[in-house]
Amino acid sequence: MFPSGNTRAVLVAHRLVVFTTNPCSSFTLTTMFTVRGLFAFGGRIIDRIWQGQITILLLTRTTFFFTPLFLLSFFNKVLQFFWYC
């Protein structure tokens, strides 16, 4: 007996959530490093625009990295990665 349409949709959604939130999956790690890489690239562009005003670069980096929600989720991912892997 095959699951009905609704049950199948729930199963697929559950698998997708587990896959994207699993700290050991390459998708999660790739996403983390891609976000970090894109931000670093954006920081370099800002640095070039302001012709070496390092304060602007540092300001943008700190506002991104020290947002409480971002810090909480980032450290949570790191802890999960080392705990489960």
Q: What is the pLDDT of residues 60-81, one digit of tens each?
A: 555 555 555 566 666 777 777 7
Pair of tokens at residue 1 = 């007996």
Nearest CA to 57 out of 69, 70, 68, 41 is that of 41
24-64: pLDDT as tens digits: 555 555 566 655 666 665 555 555 555 555 455 555 555 55
Range of the domain at 59: 5-84
Nearest CA to 43 out of 61, 70, 66, 64 is that of 61
DSSP result, 42-57:
HHHHHHHHTTS-HHHH
* Global confidence as pTM: 0.24
Domain count, the chain: 1
Provide the pLDDT for residue 80: 72
